[in-house]
A and B are shown apart, each in its own frame.
Chain A
Amino acid sequence: MTNVLPIDLDPAVIEQLGHELDEIYDATIASLGERDERYIRRLIRTQRTLALGSRVAMLAGAAVRRRGLLRRKVGATGRRAGTALLGLGTAGLGLAKILENMEIGHNVMHGQWDWMNDPEINSTIWEWDTVCSADHWKHGHNIVHHTWTNVLGKDRDIGYEILRTTSEKPWNPVYLAQPIYNTLLALMFEWGVGLHELDFDKLASGTKEQKAEQLELFQGFLRKAARQAAKDYVLWPSLAGPGFVDVVIADTVANLIRNIWSYTIIFCGHFPDGVHLFDRSVIEDETRAGWYLRQLLGSANITGGPRFHVLAGNLSHQIEHHLFPDMPSNRYQQVAPRIEALCVRYGLPYNAGPLRRQFGTTIRKIWRYALPGGTDTVSEAPALRVA
């Protein structure tokens, strides 16, 4: 049974819990101000400087390397310096893309910075540096996933439609290959995210309107993807002249770094051991407090230092993010101890653990459920902090 809560809470108590969470939210939102504004502006400026600097480093690296190869003037040391520069640019661009997608893009599109009333840094117009278009993302993620979090048959992010991550999902032989295509998904993550909004069943055999709708989604995806690909794999490399291939490889690696990292963090949000799934019956007459409780039980945090949280786009505070999706992410660290303490008081699990635990149990799950059967492990222990 997936709709059994780990603890028998009286509806009145759940409402009380909801009330406390409302208060934490209100107080935090009321305290937003210049420091928060400075945080996001500085971050955006840093990210853009890093992205541009990295691209320039790549071009310089490629130039030094090629000159060295062709004219044999730049000897081995020069070539090595060129390669180092290329590598530095690659790492920098990977990092810039991680920051842009996670701590900036994802959070801006949630409306976390709409309160600033800035015509650029707001959820209605932000477009991010991935092949997934902002409009598609906001529908699939902000509306569907955040509203129906972990409700079987409603939340398309449970196993992302292609993975079997729960015994509730009937097994079929295709899942035997899931460890393989899961790895592919990690490598190609931005493309997976970009196509996630599409429903291929509807595209192939839906009604006429459904087909038209899916086709339009697909075209939207292609438009965005074409621009992204042209930038990374044609335009910037072409500036390198003979170093074209060097830069193509560097950009590919930068995108890979971003893909693998964001995959890792995002999969730790709802798949580690102890995370609850819910039956559709839970959402009938669900109150706001009930929704809070579902978010609490359906999300998992990754523990780490402040810098790690920024690199994780603060999705390492998945619990806080799911409770308050439009609270500026720089505040999650501040409210997290209050949420954990509240869980202890109410005897609720607070699923937080280091990356190796959260990611380890996620991968184990993906391998286990490739085979038929399996039992879902949910945390029964109050305020569980897994070491």
Chain B
Amino acid sequence: MSLMSTARSRVADVVNLFATPLQASHYVELVNPLWSSHKLQARVEEVWDETADARTITLRPGRNWRRHRAGQHLRLGVPIGGRRFTRTYSISSSPERRDGCITVTVKVLDGGRMSGHLVRNLEVGTYLPIGLPQGDFVVPESTPVRPLFITAGSGLTPVMSMLRTWDIVGNMPDVAHIHYAPHRYDVIYGAELVELAARRPRYRYEAVLTREGGDGPSTARHFDRAQLDALCPDWMEREVWACGPQSLLAAVEQHFEAAGRSRFLHVERFRAALAEVPADAAGGRATFVIDGAPVSADADATTPLLRVAEDAGLNPEHGCRMGICHTCDIPLVAGRVRDLRTGDVIDEPGQLVQICISGAAGDCELALTAPAT
């Protein structure tokens, strides 16, 4: 087996030598981007509006895709204005889907430039870079479970993948599902859920419409103990998966902790726990990660991060120190930095930062590789 794989990688080495300094896969990509092995892409096969502000995108992943487990998410890159932005989305389709495609459902979030673009402008036939499926928000496959799902808005997506899988395979467990949405027409997959509940008696679906009927949001319809008792009296006997906005997850976590059942609660959240940085934030805590080890230092708004790193005893690679040579470029992990020349803010994880001419604009974290010796 390992002999086979070494032999195969030898052959690949020789084939790649024909393409040096590239790889053979770069030329394969010319024929079909889905066949390349040096990077993973997906083709947009279909777009479908679930609600006025949510759209389902059907993607055909490339050859190197690994089948996901229901509940997992993936990273999706979208070029907007020539720049690439990457976000994480839960996969809403079942891994059992016959055609090998996957779906994600994207909702326009306030001020979300990427979700806005995906919902309004994405065209069928576009190739998007994707990552492999990740995450452990999954239902164990071997042991039988009695799940309670608590979801809100697009937090429904990972749970949808689970429900669809059980439906396709035909082994629907005893499921209780409480879903929150403002109005009936805001429920993504609303019709499908109702239909599923009618067809599979073991699946119990409760929609809580928080703004229906009255004017303005009614906190009375938000998650609390009394409501849970009413909608799912046997919640003490169930294992819980929750996905939705931070406020819902906080309430759910608090409740199950008080009940001593945190052990049986799984949550999925995509917003980083990082506090929102105010737009005019100046300076902050700069963290440089070298081979997994973080080094932190206080950085004011005007000192280049290269200086900050050096003052902290680090020795980042650099050349001109004036923004010409790009030797000092390192990727942003999290937080915000500012280009000291133009005042532009960079807050896109993965974006390269010229640290000789960038200062902290709030807390920031950068990935520093040890300089070659």
Q: Knowing A33-B81, A48-B26, A114-B352 are in contact, say whether A288-B329 is a contact too (CB < 8 A).
A: no
Q: Is the C-beta of A120 less than 8 angstroms from some C-beta in chain B?
A: yes
Q: Find residues 129-182 in chain A having any chain B CB closer than 8 Å to their own CB.
A: 129, 135, 138-139, 142-143, 146-147
Q: Is the C-beta of B124 less than 8 angstroms from some C-beta in chain A?
A: no
Contact (Cβ within 8 A) A235 B82: no
Q: Is the C-beta of B142 less than 8 angstroms from some C-beta in chain A?
A: no
**For residue B21, which residues in chain A have a CB less than 8 angstroms away from its CB?**
127-129, 224, 227-228
Q: Is the C-beta of A242 less than 8 angstroms from some C-beta in chain B?
A: no
Interface string of B281-322 (1 = CB under 8 A from A): 000000000000000000000000000000000000001101
Q: Is the C-beta of A231 less than 8 angstroms from some C-beta in chain B?
A: yes
Please, how many angstroms separate the alpha-carbon atoms of A143 and B318 in the complex? 9
Residue of B nearest to A115 (CB): B83
Which among A26, A129, A142, A291 is the interface contact of B327 at CB below 8 angstroms?
A: A142
Contact (Cβ within 8 A) A117 B83: yes
**For residue B30, which residues in chain A have a CB less than 8 angstroms away from its CB?**
45, 48-49, 52
Residue of A nearest to B14 (CB): A235
Which among A48, A124, A228, A236 is the interface contact of B352 at CB below 8 angstroms?
A: A124
**For residue B320, which residues in chain A have a CB less than 8 angstroms away from its CB?**
142-143, 146-147
**For residue A119, which residues in chain B have a CB less than 8 angstroms away from its CB?**
39, 129, 350
The prevalent SS among residues of A at the interface is helix
**For residue A20, which residues in chain B have a CB less than 8 angstroms away from its CB?**
none
Contact (Cβ within 8 A) A235 B326: no
How many inter-chain residue pairs (CB < 8 Å) link A and B? Answer: 109
Q: How far is the CB of A93 from chain B (nearest CB, A)?
A: 13
Residue of B nearest to A295 (CB): B324
Q: Knowing A26-B342, A122-B352, A147-B325 are in contact, say whether A37-B17 is a contact too (CB < 8 A).
A: no
Contact (Cβ within 8 A) A120 B39: yes
- For A, the interface residue count at a CB cutoff of 8 angstroms equals 47
Residue of A nearest to B372 (CB): A135
Which among B20, B27, B325, B352 is the interface contact of A52 at CB below 8 angstroms?
A: B27
Residue of B nearest to A49 (CB): B30
Interface string of A212-247 (1 = CB under 8 A from B): 000000000000100110110001100000000000
Which among A135, A139, A227 is the interface contact of B17 at CB below 8 angstroms?
A: A227
Q: Knowing A142-B319, A143-B319 are in contact, say whether A326-B82 is a contact too (CB < 8 A).
A: no
Residue of A nearest to B327 (CB): A143
Q: Find residues 17-38 in chain B having any chain A CB closer than 8 Å to their own CB.
A: 17-22, 26-27, 30
Q: Is the C-beta of B79 less than 8 angstroms from some C-beta in chain A?
A: yes
Interface string of A88-124 (1 = CB under 8 A from B): 0000000000000000000000110011111110111
Please, how many angstroms separate the alpha-carbon atoms of A24 and B85 in the complex? 27
**For residue B27, which residues in chain A have a CB less than 8 angstroms away from its CB?**
48, 52
Q: Knowing A142-B327, A227-B21 are in contact, say whether A37-B79 is a contact too (CB < 8 A).
A: yes
Contact (Cβ within 8 A) B325 A116: no
Please, how many angstroms separate the alpha-carbon atoms of A118 and B351 in the complex? 8
Contact (Cβ within 8 A) A235 B17: yes
Residue of A nearest to B21 (CB): A127
Q: Is the C-beta of B348 less than 8 angstroms from some C-beta in chain A?
A: yes
**For residue B83, which residues in chain A have a CB less than 8 angstroms away from its CB?**
37, 115-117
Contact (Cβ within 8 A) A143 B325: yes
Q: Knowing A32-B82, A34-B81 are in contact, say whether A231-B326 is a contact too (CB < 8 A).
A: no
Q: Is the C-beta of A6 less than 8 angstroms from some C-beta in chain B?
A: no
Q: How far is the CB of B336 from chain A (nearest CB, A)?
A: 15
Residue of B nearest to A117 (CB): B84
Q: Is the C-beta of A342 less than 8 angstroms from some C-beta in chain B?
A: no
**For residue A129, which residues in chain B have a CB less than 8 angstroms away from its CB?**
21
Please, how many angstroms separate the alpha-carbon atoms of A143 and B327 in the complex? 8
Q: Find residues 331-360 in chain B having any chain A CB closer than 8 Å to their own CB.
A: 341-342, 348, 350-352, 354
Q: Find residues 46-92 in chain B having any chain A CB closer than 8 Å to their own CB.
A: 79, 81-85
Q: Knowing A36-B82, A48-B26, A117-B351 are in contact, say whether A142-B325 is a contact too (CB < 8 A).
A: yes
Residue of B nearest to A105 (CB): B21
Please, how many angstroms separate the alpha-carbon atoms of A380 and B247 in the complex? 70
Please, how many angstroms separate the alpha-carbon atoms of A371 and B79 in the complex? 57
**For residue B79, which residues in chain A have a CB less than 8 angstroms away from its CB?**
34, 37, 116
**For residue B322, which residues in chain A have a CB less than 8 angstroms away from its CB?**
147, 288, 291
Q: Knowing A120-B39, A122-B352, A147-B319 are in contact, say whether A138-B325 is a contact too (CB < 8 A).
A: yes
Q: Is the C-beta of A14 less than 8 angstroms from some C-beta in chain B?
A: no
Contact (Cβ within 8 A) A228 B325: no
Please, how many angstroms separate the alpha-carbon atoms of A29 and B17 in the complex? 37
Contact (Cβ within 8 A) A138 B327: yes
Please, how many angstroms separate the alpha-carbon atoms of A124 and B26 in the complex? 18
Q: How far is the CB of B56 from chain A (nearest CB, A)?
A: 25
User: Can you sample 26 A-B contacts with CB below 8 Å?
Assistant: A33-B81, A34-B82, A35-B82, A48-B26, A111-B329, A114-B329, A115-B83, A117-B83, A119-B350, A123-B326, A123-B352, A124-B352, A127-B22, A142-B320, A142-B325, A142-B327, A147-B319, A147-B324, A147-B325, A230-B17, A230-B20, A231-B17, A231-B18, A291-B322, A325-B325, A326-B323
| 4 extra A-B contacts, CB within 8 A, seeds A146-B325, A291-B322 | A36-B82, A138-B327, A143-B319, A227-B17
Can you list the 6 inter-chain pairs with the closest CB atoms, starting with the nearest?
A143-B319, A111-B326, A37-B82, A127-B21, A142-B325, A117-B84
